[in-house]
A and B are shown apart, each in its own frame.
Chain A
């Protein structure tokens, strides 16, 4: 849970347009697979136009948390949850929610770049097409805009019809980003998006994130504390399924409230 100290500071870092109403509110959220609890009573807000980094050692529930926000865990028969996740004040787990629509509003980028075995173009227009968009000119525009936003357009503009699998790992990850952006989501979930990438590709993804921040709320799960420090506004530290602390990145990294946080950040475990 954020305290009032954090609330006061956010407007300073995210600019004048900042509105205090959270985009996503997570309330008393717990999750389990079979009977193993992986998340315990998480309370967290994600604000519009902020980059929230989630850090913590492996199997701390970071990915489960992320996959809960767009209900991808639902697909696992062993998954069960309690609590609430509100998107613009509406519970995403309520029965009348259109789940495909929800997933278009909350886009996700995975750790391993996964291009579908089609052309670059078909990869990007897949989501929009499945949502019913048929107009060729609209799709063309989407491809160009999303590739530009993902800092990939200049590299692939002449070979949109080529198989996406021919791209390098870093390019594929940016293609995956473009594919999500084509759906014009409101929230972007990034699950260790740079874990398998070289430093230059990582820099390009981070470059894209800076731009994207002006339009989306971004949640970045990362194993790389340095990345969290340089590419986020706020940082949440997850340990063994619990949210240990959440605050402004600068504060979490320079003056963490909890001993465990400071030990993790300084590399004593994890």
Chain B
């Protein structure tokens, strides 16, 4: 029996629609499950107090601070290096063996399991450079981990800017630097922001790499040279060591809401940039 084109079309739409539904459904289910279990325990004191008795009681304030410090610092270091590399690769050099090596290296870096980064960071930043377990060790480890994402997404965004814009800019007597900053980056900004947001998400939720580099102290980090425990690691410890599942879910809820807030903020920022560029 042959199926008529109209019915094939209907089936295809239904099929694709259900695939999309599965994706969104799984996401919704996970978020709902965790928030349902955790939200009752997220109180004001949970957000503002230090943990007591290994995290069985008290709050997660030092972990929130630690997470923001490690992630913030990582992105602050990674974004300029990554975007700079992307600009160099796309605007300042021709395709050569050298650029292929850089790109290949970045792609390999993206595929390495995070625990390997953790081990490397532990040895290199912690021991060789002598930063020990600290926010800076963790941040630099995460920097290396998210660099490939930032480089590749920025590169894509920069390449997507029409070549004719560059011709126009040069034709109007701009230098290469003016062309890059005023024309190319201005148009590529939304894409670059997407890469940065992705890497914020990846660093904030990273556990293995920070466990070996930022440490797992319950104390509040007072500077970037102090050790710190991030929310993701705190959740891992609480659940893995069976300290308190309630507190673990509450921590996970805070983590998810933080990521959501950061994404919304970044999205809003992006919209504003785009609106201003027009």
Q: Does A associate with B in a complex?
A: yes
Which of A100, A101, A116 is in CB contact (< 8 Å) with B183?
A116
Q: Which chain A residues border B169 with CB–CB below 8 Å?
A: 116, 126
CB distance from A190 to the nearest CB of B (A): 12
A127 touches B187 (CB 8 A): no
* Interface presence of A130 (CB below 8 A): yes
Which of B94, B168, B183 is in CB contact (< 8 Å) with A77?
B94
* Interface presence of B172 (CB below 8 A): yes
A118 touches B174 (CB 8 A): no
A130 touches B178 (CB 8 A): yes
B173 touches A130 (CB 8 A): yes
Which of B162, B173, B175, B277 has the most chain A CB atoms inside 10 A of its CB? B173
Binds B, one of A52-60, A88-96, A103-111, A254-262: A103-111
CB distance from B84 to the nearest CB of A (A): 21
B175 touches A70 (CB 8 A): no
Q: Which chain A residues border B278 with CB–CB below 8 Å?
A: 117-119, 163
Q: Which chain B residues border A101 with CB–CB below 8 Å?
A: 173
Q: Which residue of A lies closest to B274 (CB)?
A: A117
* Interface presence of B15 (CB below 8 A): no
* Interface presence of B164 (CB below 8 A): yes
* Interface presence of B241 (CB below 8 A): no
* Interface presence of B273 (CB below 8 A): no
Which of B164, B166, B170 has the most chain A CB atoms inside 10 A of its CB? B170
Which of B94, B168, B175, B178 is in CB contact (< 8 Å) with A114?
B168
B167 touches A110 (CB 8 A): yes
Mark contacts of A66-84 with chain B using CB atoms, 8 A cut-off: 1 yes-contact digit, 0 otherwise: 0000101001010000000
A118 touches B175 (CB 8 A): no
Q: Which residue of A lies closest to B176 (CB)?
A: A75
Q: Which chain B residues border A251 with CB–CB below 8 Å?
A: none
CB distance from B158 to the nearest CB of A (A): 15
Q: Which chain A residues border B162 with CB–CB below 8 Å?
A: 114
A: interface residue count bin: 20 to 34
A103 touches B172 (CB 8 A): yes
CB distance from B90 to the nearest CB of A (A): 13
A117 touches B277 (CB 8 A): yes
Q: Which residue of B lies closest to A75 (CB)?
A: B170
A110 touches B171 (CB 8 A): yes
Q: Which chain B residues border A116 with CB–CB below 8 Å?
A: 165, 168-169, 183
Q: Which residue of B lies closest to A176 (CB)?
A: B168
Q: Which chain A residues border B175 with CB–CB below 8 Å?
A: 100, 130
Q: Which residue of A lies closest to B168 (CB)?
A: A114
B167 touches A127 (CB 8 A): no
* Interface presence of A183 (CB below 8 A): yes
Which of A75, A104, A163 is in CB contact (< 8 Å) with B173?
A104
* Interface presence of A212 (CB below 8 A): no
A70 touches B171 (CB 8 A): yes
CB distance from B104 to the nearest CB of A (A): 21
Q: Which chain B residues border A110 with CB–CB below 8 Å?
A: 164, 167-168, 171
Q: Which chain A residues border B171 with CB–CB below 8 Å?
A: 70, 72, 103, 107-108, 110, 180
* Interface presence of B272 (CB below 8 A): no
Q: Which chain A residues border B167 with CB–CB below 8 Å?
A: 72, 110, 114
B172 touches A180 (CB 8 A): yes
Take A114-B162, A117-B278, A163-B278 as given contacts and tell me if A183 and B170 are in contact as well, using a CB distance cutoff of 8 Å: no
26 contacts between A and B (CB under 8 A): A70-B171, A100-B173, A100-B174, A100-B175, A103-B170, A103-B171, A103-B173, A104-B173, A107-B171, A107-B172, A110-B168, A114-B162, A114-B165, A116-B168, A116-B169, A117-B187, A117-B278, A118-B277, A119-B278, A126-B182, A127-B173, A127-B174, A176-B168, A179-B172, A180-B172, A183-B173
